[in-house]
């Protein structure tokens, strides 16, 4: 299990590849989004592409993220939809009850996902 601690501009990330439980929690607006996310997302995507008949769960609780981070998550969600062909994928999109901006971002991600089970959890 890999745990990457949060910084003021990057989220806490937990990658439990044994149980296929993944979480992203916090804020995401690093100056160079690709420099931060590429080393995390590239091996994660490789892992996900190799899964078969697995139960995969992603928990997101992002309180703030910039446009470049949005694209990183958008690409991840596209891959999650792809791998539903061989797996069961659940995304739990957590947001503060009053934070309709974060909720709207979740809605937009969900629109493109037909086979990922996408849950909204207001906190």
By the criterion CB under 8 A, which residues form the site for another protein?
8-9, 29-33, 64, 66-68, 70-71, 74-75, 78, 96, 98-102, 112
Give the tokens for residue 16.
């439990």
Q: What CA–CA distance (Å, rounded) separates 97 from 63? A: 11
For another protein, the closer CB: 57 or 81: 81
Task: Report in angstroms how near the CB of residue 68 gets to another protein at its nearest.
Answer: 4
For another protein, the closer CB: 119 or 122: 122
Give the tokens for residue 84.
């539903």
For another protein, the closer CB: 20 or 105: 105
Determine the distance from the C-alpha atom of residue 52 to the mean position of all C-alpha atoms in its chain, rounded to a whole number.
19
Task: Report in angstroms how near the CB of residue 107 gets to another protein at its nearest.
Answer: 11
Total Cβ atoms within 10 A of residue 84: 15
CA nearest to 101, candidates 80, 70, 73, 76: 70
Task: Report in angstroms how near the CB of residue 29 gets to another protein at its nearest.
Answer: 5
């Amino acid at each position: 299990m890999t745990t990457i601690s949060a910084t003021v501009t990057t989220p806490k990330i937990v990658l439990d590849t044994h149980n296929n439980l993944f979480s992203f929690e916090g804020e995401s607006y690093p100056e160079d989004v690709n420099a931060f996310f590429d080393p995390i997302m590239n091996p994660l995507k490789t892992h996900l592409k190799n899964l078969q008949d697995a139960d995969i769960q992603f928990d997101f609780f992002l309180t703030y993220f910039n446009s470049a981070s949005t694209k990183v998550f958008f690409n991840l969600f596209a891959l999650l939809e792809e791998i539903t062909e061989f797996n069961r994928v659940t995304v739990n999109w957590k947001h503060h009850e009053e934070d309709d901006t974060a909720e709207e971002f979740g809605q937009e991600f969900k629109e493109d996902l037909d086979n990922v089970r996408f849950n909204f959890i207001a906190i």
